[in-house]
Each structure stands twice: as C-alpha cells, then as structure tokens.
Amino acid sequence: MSTQGLHRHRATPRAPALAPTFVPAVWSLVLTVVVLGPMFTSPGYLLLRDAVSTPRSYLTDSALGLSDAAARAVPQDALLAWVTTVVDGGVAVTVLLTASLWAAGFGAARLVSVLLPGSGVPAQVTAVTVAIWNPYVGERLLQGHWSLLAGYAALPWAICAAVAVRRRAGGGWWALAFWLGVAGLTPTGVLLAGVTAVVVLAMPGGRVSRVGRLVGAAALTVAVSAPWLVATALSGGGTEADPAGVSAFAARAEPLLGTIGSVAGLGGIWNADAVPGSRTTPWALIGTVLLLLVVACGLPALWRRRRNPVIVALAVVAVVAVLGTTLGATAPGLRFGEWAMVNVPGAGLLRDTQKWVALLMPLYVLAAAAGVGALRQHFTPDRARSDIAWAALSVVAVVGALPDLAWGVGGQVRPVRYPEGWQQVASIVTAGEGDAAVLPTGMFRRFDYSGPVAVLDPAPRMLRADVLQTGTLIVEGGAVEGEGARAVDVERLLLDGSDPSELTARGVGWVVVEHGTPGDHGRSEETLDMLTQVYSDDDLALYQVDGAWARETTGRNVAILAHLLLMLVVAAGATGMLATRLHTRVSELLRALAGRLRRDSRKQA
C-alpha cells in the first residue's frame, strides 16, 4: 500500500465523527443537570419569586393577556394552560427549563462551529460552559424568570439560522421561524432573538437580498409576537407604566465592580436578593475578572476576523447592550426612562434593563472558544493535547468564578409541595360564576412551604376563574404601581369591609383567603361575614359571592387565534427543519451509493 493511500485511509476514521456534536451536547446536559439538580430529586413545583408552576393551569383571560394589566406572562401562561391538560405542571416547567439551559449550551457550541469553523471540540466545550455557567443564568433562575431563559437559549440558534439565510443554506428560514417562536415564550425573549437576528441579517454581504431577508425576519418576529401584541391592542394593558419602575429595575452595581463591571460580567440584576451568594462578596470581583479573562483571550482572534460581518454585528450588539444598560442606571438615563414610561406606549417592557445583558452571550462564547486556540498558538505547539488542556483550564476558571451556581444555585432553586387545600379550592372554583379576589392584598406571599423569600401568589395559575390582582410590586425603597385598575377597586372594597353587592356588581364571585402569609386584610372580615364560606382549613378559606356572573371578554377568540399563529410558526419551522435534514441525509446517501456503484462498475470493467 502506498504512503498516500495509507494517509487517505487514516484520514477518514468512523468512530470520532460523532465527537463534534456528541461531546458538546453531553457536556451541556451535564452542566444543566448540575445547575438544576434539586429539580430532579423530588416531585414538586417551582415556586420562587416570579416563577409559579402549579399542577394545572387554565386558559383564563389573564393567561391570554386580556386583563387591564400588562401582558408580561403571554404566551407563557397560555402554553402552560394547554400543556397541563396532559402533563403535570411541575413536570412541564422542569422539562422546559432543562431544555432551555441545555439548548443554550449546545447552541453556543453550534454557533462556534458555524462562525469559527475548525476551532475544535475543546473550544466548543468552553463555549458551552460560558453560556450556561454565568451570573445571568444564576440571577434569572433566582428571580424565577425560567421562561426568559428560553429566549436566552434561542439566541445562538437564531444567529445560526440568520447566517444560514445569509448563505442561502437549506432550512435557514425554517430554523429562524422555529427559534424565534421558541424565544416568543415571552415578549422579552422574542425581542432578544429578533433584534439580534435582524442586526445579523442587516449586515452587508450574503447571497440573499438584504431587503428580502430583513422583510422576512421582521414578518416572522411580528408573527411570533402576535399573542402579546394582540393582547395589548385588545385590552390596552401596560400601555403606560409607573415611572418609579425605572429606578427600581435599573441594573445594580455589585461589590467592588460598579455598574459597568457588573453588567460586563453578566450580572447586576436589580434585585439584590436574587443573586448567588458569591456575588454579594468581594468574590464578585474575582469571579468577574476570571470570566472576562477567559473572554479576553479570544478577542484578538475575533478582531482578526473583523471582515466577517456577522462577528462585527455580534460585537456591536454586545457593546450597545453594555453601554445601554449601564447608561440606563445613570441619572440622565433614569430621567429618560421615566419620561418614556409616561409618553411611550409599551415602554414598560424595557424597564428591567439588565435583561438585555443576555445580548453579550453570543460574543462571549465566541471569544472564549477562540481563546482556546489563541492560548495554544502562543504557549504550546501540540494542538491535540494543548487544546484540551487550555479548554479545561478555561472551564475551571468559568466554573470557579461562580461556584455556587451548582445544585440549584446553592439549593435555592428547588421544587415545593402545595398543601392539599389548594387542590380542594381549585376543584370548587368555577369559571362561570365570576372572578376571584384574594386576601391578603398584593401579589406576593411568604408561605412556610415555599421558603423564606417572597413568591408570586399561585392563585392566578391555580384557579379556573380569573384572579384580580393589581400588579403592584413592592421593591426596596417603595412600590411600583401596577396597571390593574379593576383589581385596585375590588381590593379597596374588601379592605373597607363593603357590602357584598358591591363585589357582585364588579363581577367578583369568589374570595380566597390565604392564611400564614403577611399582608393587609383591612376590615375585610366585615365583608367575609356576609358571604357563604364553602371551604376552610389551616391554609386557605374560600367564600362565594352570591349573584355574580361571568363577564363577557371582548376579543377572546382573536387572542386565541394569535396564540395559534405562534404555534403554527413553531410547528412549521420544526417540520421544515426536519424535512430539510431528511432531504440532505437522503441526498448524501444517494450520492454515496452512486459513487459506490461507479467504483464497482470500474472494477468490473
């Protein structure tokens, strides 16, 4: 056998062919399990600050965004209402959260393979680690923003899809439709993915008309945004927001870092209690330095690729995200934000400025991956072994930067069990006999079974009837008023001990009293004494208001159609991707078969 033939034979091994996909996928799963460990160890439901999962959710007007409050949980709540008809809500949320973190990591590896071809598996593993193991993920988990992490996960995949569209590669539009739809689980998610995809598609170059690809991306973004856009148009909820929310939700400086350092380190969430313990100590500085060192090692390599318009686009997005978030926390930025809350409809969606720090992730994972090759080139000539060594060192640095992200961010992200009374009350309350009011007033609760932190009241997700809540948020330094005017009126009636006929006139058919949690009851006992008590135990009491009726909701069918449009886009995208993949695979097999037949015919000849 000739030397040339021997080299050709050794260049096509079969076993390692799976490594470029298999290893990053498995590593992403490992990190996901390490982060979410407590969610897999016992049955239960995620009930942590803004995260509320329940055994069963219902397609109420609030779930469709048709209340007078902002449609912030649309279409998330409607999705859970449909899913929990066949799957327990605790299982559904755990699966969705697990899929989100896994997809974020594996998507980072995919982004590296697309934009940094030939970088190798160790570089992809480093990218996976940066995407999953960072302060942004930890803080959003602790804040209970599990659905926002779905939008975060969709970012690298949407970029890959936009690159495929630019290159006119098969399935690009289908993939973009699917991942924008996944990001559409929350309004913020679709804006994160949609804006990034549009910026990538707007850059010069590519094999498809720039106007055509921008129109297509804009149309898809609007289509997957239909649930909350339609809900806002029908109900008018959230068109104005309390200016106090601007300073309350501005990015926050962490120890020894300042605001810009916190933001650049993928941290700085507004709630000082929703942070891993290590970020409340001087380790925040050390951890941020470690993360940024891993990223900085690859920035020169990315600079040398500055002719790639996609990398330039991601760099621009990242810089704007850092500067915009930081400026939003300055005095001029706060004044501008307060003006926008009053004068710009829907500006309330932007008030949590630290959410946009997610836009740094694509650039950071690329830089971290590029850094593996850069370190090898500068310090060690043996690629195979040194890439693994430098990747391992980078992974250790990133994990060490935030050691308490492991095991549910130090055990805080864990399932809880509801008292039996919730199931009893949920089985009694119907949707046709009026809406439900709750006591004590307010949206947040502190139950013994949910732990020491304040959690969103589970009643709106637990009951078939719409639950009236004001949307007012209690934050450090005061309160941020919500948009639920009708709920404010009903709360006032209960606190004043008004006659039940006043509740009946406002469509209230039920009053749920939640025991064991602090809050204002006012003179509500005077009203409750005139109502019919239909259930009571140590945790809950349920009263029925006689004569109440179900309110007619304008546009409910239109809102449902908007949700169906989103599901249609996601289903079409998934089907198109699968069909494209199958077509490609069949074509490869046919070409391989044709080549074999030609070789056999030549041998016979």
Task: Let me know whether 467 and 376 are in one domain.
Answer: no
pLDDT for residue 243 is more than 70: yes
Could you tell me which residues are beta bridge partners of residue 512? 438, 542
Select the more confidently predicted residue: 363 or 382: 363
Q: Is residue 230, in this structure, part of any structural domain at all?
A: yes
The confidence band for 239, taking pLDDT boundaries of 50, 70 and 90, is low
Task: Let me know whether 284 and 394 are in one domain.
Answer: yes
Q: Euclidean distance between the first and final Cα of the chain, in Å?
A: 22
- How much is the pTM? 0.94
- pLDDT given at position 483: 66
Task: Let me know whether 500 and 358 are in one domain.
Answer: no
- pLDDT given at position 258: 95
Task: Let me know whether 370 and 236 are in one domain.
Answer: yes
Please report which helix (H) or strand (E) contains residue 233, including its range: helix 226-235
Per-residue pLDDT of 408-466, as tens digits, reads: 999 999 999 999 999 999 999 998 899 999 999 989 999 999 999 999 999 999 999 99
Domain boundary among 379, 404, 429: 404
Q: Is residue 431, in this structure, part of any structural domain at all?
A: yes
- How many structural domains are present in the chain? 2
Domain boundary among 404, 430, 459: 404
Residues 6+ apart with CB under 8 A from 56: 84, 85, 89, 426, 462
Lowest model confidence (mean pLDDT) among 135-139, 161-165, 398-402, 589-593: 589-593
Q: What percentage of the chain reaches a pLDDT higher than 90? A: 80
Q: Is residue 558, in this structure, part of any structural domain at all?
A: no
Task: Let me know whether 489 and 366 are in one domain.
Answer: no
| 49 neighbors 417 (Cβ within 8 angstroms) | no
Lowest model confidence (mean pLDDT) among 198-202, 380-384, 542-546: 380-384
The confidence band for 549, taking pLDDT boundaries of 50, 70 and 90, is confident
Task: Let me know whether 348 and 426 are in one domain.
Answer: no
Task: Let me know whether 375 and 432 are in one domain.
Answer: no
SS (H, E, C) 64-91: CCCCCCCCCCCCHHHHHHHHCCCCCHHH
Task: Let me know whether 485 and 350 are in one domain.
Answer: no
Please report which helix (H) or strand (E) contains residue 455, including its range: strand 455-456
- pLDDT given at position 84: 97
pLDDT for residue 544 is more than 60: yes
Q: Is residue 111, in this structure, part of any structural domain at all?
A: yes
pLDDT for residue 124 is more than 90: yes
| 535 neighbors 508 (Cβ within 8 angstroms) | no
pLDDT for residue 109 is more than 90: yes
Rounded to an integer, the average pLDDT of 143-167 is 97
pLDDT for residue 278 is more than 70: yes
From the number of C-beta atoms within 10 Å of its C-beta (0-12, 13-18, 19+), residue 407 rates as middle
pLDDT for residue 342 is more than 80: yes
Provide the domain limits for residue 536: 416-544
Task: Let me know whether 454 and 504 are in one domain.
Answer: yes
269 by DSSP, 3-state: which?
Answer: coil
Count Cβ atoms below 10 Å from residue 496 Cβ, excluding itself.
Answer: 14
- pLDDT given at position 603: 79
Tell me phi and psi for residue 544, to 5 degrees.
-110, 135
Task: Let me know whether 284 and 382 are in one domain.
Answer: yes
Residue 46's closest CA among 307, 374, 415? 415
pLDDT for residue 12 is more than 50: no
Count Cβ atoms below 10 Å from residue 270 Cβ, excluding itself.
Answer: 22
pLDDT for residue 9 is more than 80: no
Lowest model confidence (mean pLDDT) among 127-141, 410-424, 584-598: 584-598
Q: What is the DSSP letter of 14?
A: S
Please report which helix (H) or strand (E) contains residue 52, including its range: strand 51-52
Question: Mean pLDDT in the chain?
Answer: 92
Task: Let me know whether 233 and 344 are in one domain.
Answer: yes
Task: Tell me the C-alpha distance between 187 and 225, whole Å.
Answer: 7
Domain boundary among 544, 566, 588: 544
The confidence band for 485, taking pLDDT boundaries of 50, 70 and 90, is confident
Q: Is residue 47, in this structure, part of any structural domain at all?
A: no
Task: Tell me the C-alpha distance between 597 and 605, whole Å.
Answer: 12
CB < 8 Å & 24+ apart, contacts of 340-345 = 341/240, 341/241, 341/242, 341/243, 341/245, 341/246, 342/240, 342/243, 345/239, 345/240
Q: Is residue 567, in this structure, part of any structural domain at all?
A: no
DSSP code per residue over 246-258? HHHTS--PBTTTH
Q: Is residue 63, in this structure, part of any structural domain at all?
A: no
Task: Let me know whether 165 and 313 are in one domain.
Answer: yes
Q: Is residue 296, in this structure, part of any structural domain at all?
A: yes
